Amino acid sequence: MFQLFLRARAHNLLNDRRGDKPFKARSAERDAETDRARVGSVVAALEAALHEAEREQVGLNQRVDDALARAAVTFGNGDDEYLERESLDNYHQDLFAADISNGQRRLKELAATIGHLKFVKAALLTRFPDFKPPQLSS
């Protein structure tokens, strides 16, 4: 019996020196809050990326529309305008065409990216149906 006592004391003494502490589980509320915070950070990152892509899309769409309008004004409306146009006007038309083409390409890419981000967000929210994003105070 004395040996059991010594063995227990030695075990406790060694555990204390190693810093071993007995296992203690957190509360269910704290675990749920930790999980909500993790999902919330992912949702917040998705929202930020989606917002930035949509903002870029709106701004670029306005610039492409502006370039289209400027190109239409400089193009002229005569039947033989293309035949009699000066080389400088042709050069500017080529610049407008390149800008418009690049802008439209980027708009297509942004539309695809926005669609993908919305899909990822929807998939995330279906996997975590109990997640409620924090309400913004007005």
pLDDT digits (tens, 9 = 90+) for 4-27: 666 777 767 666 655 556 667 788
pLDDT of 97 > 70? The answer is yes
Report the SS3 class of residue 95. Answer: helix
Range 71-83 average pLDDT: 64
* pLDDT category of residue 82 using cuts at 50, 70 and 90: low
Q: Is the dihedral of CA 125, 60, 66, 75 positive or negative?
A: negative
Half-sphere exposure of 123 (CA within 13 A, CB side): 7
- Mean residue pLDDT of the chain comes to 82
Integer Cα distance of 69 and 113 in angstroms: 27
Instruction: Tell me which of 95 and 55 has the higher pLDDT.
Output: 55
* Confidence label for 72 from pLDDT (cuts 50, 70 and 90): confident
Q: Is the pTM of this model over 0.75?
A: no
Query: Which residue, among 106, 107, 120, 108, has the nearest Cα to 49 in the 3D structure?
Result: 120
